[in-house]
Amino acid sequence: MPAPATSREPSRPRPKGETLAVLRLLAQLGADHTAVVLTSREVGERIGMSQQAADRYLVALEKRGLLTRSMAQRRQRLSLTPAALDLLRAEYHGYRRLFEGPARLTFEGKVASGLGEGRYYLSQPGYVVQFAERLGYTPYPGTLNVRVEGEALRRVGLVAHWTGIRIDGFQASGRTFGGATCFAAQMNGHACHLIHPDRTHYKDVVEFVAAVRLRDALPVRDDDTVSVELQES
């Protein structure tokens, strides 16, 4: 019998030991946006470990795809990968929440027409039962898509690190349906939820569900600009 599908997909295994310290040091020295020239000895000194240990961390980080090393025989040029920055940002957000409380975010976007996928997914009982239970309502069977551009897109990407309401993936009809995380939102003042699928590949469109058909309730049509307020839970 397989394990229950209650696993929380987006909670990565916590990086162990001084891995984060090394990544943070490199980021502080600018390896997040430019290549940085450092010897393993220098890295070790700053973290408080031997040259050998520092070197092993650097090698391990490269193997895990968190660090790019271009070895110039003498010295190595180090730069962090986007995955490493994601890791650091998740860590940052964990601390931020401690001292600043749940995050909020306001952005604007334009209503876009989807491909009708939303209706298909939101008619799957596996999703409906979870939405009803965890959001407190049965969503209207269809999503409202909002296209986000430019700087706002980057900000909206931060929700990937937020804690929200989990919707678990499941198997049905011989295929797999992925999980997602939901965040309470107000669109033009109307309560709804942003749906952030686990398998998101940095799109410029975000999806919303609500108890009613948002296009009628707001009301809005394609290309109308809407204002969204998000709240971490």
Partner DNA sequence: ATTACTAATCGCCGAGTAA
Partner DNA sequence: TTTACTCGGCGATTAGTAA
Strand-pair partners of 205: 147
Which residues in the 20-39 window bind DNA by CB under 7 A? Answer: 38-39
Query: Which CB, 9 or 62, lies closer to DNA?
Result: 62
From DNA, its own copies, none, interface partner of 89 (C-beta below 5 to 8 A by class): its own copies
| Residues 6 or more apart whose Cβ sits within 8 Å of residue 21 | 47
User: Residue 50, interface with DNA (CB under 7 A)?
Assistant: yes
User: Residue 17, interface with its own copies (CB under 8 A)?
Assistant: yes
User: Residue 95, interface with its own copies (CB under 8 A)?
Assistant: yes
User: Residue 65, interface with DNA (CB under 7 A)?
Assistant: no
Q: Which helix (H) or strand (E) holds 176?
A: strand 175-177
- Position among 96, 147, 155, 215 found at the interface with its own copies (CB under 8 A): 96
220: tokens are 């809005």
User: Residue 119, interface with DNA (CB under 7 A)?
Assistant: no
In the complex, minimum distance from the CB of residue 84 to DNA, in angstroms, rounded to a whole number: 17
From DNA, its own copies, none, interface partner of 91 (C-beta below 5 to 8 A by class): its own copies
| Residues 6 or more apart whose Cβ sits within 8 Å of residue 90 | 12, 161
Query: Which CB, 77 or 190, lies closer to DNA?
Result: 77
d(CA 62, CA 56): 10
Beta-sheet strand order (sheet of 67-71) = 36-38, 76-80, 67-71
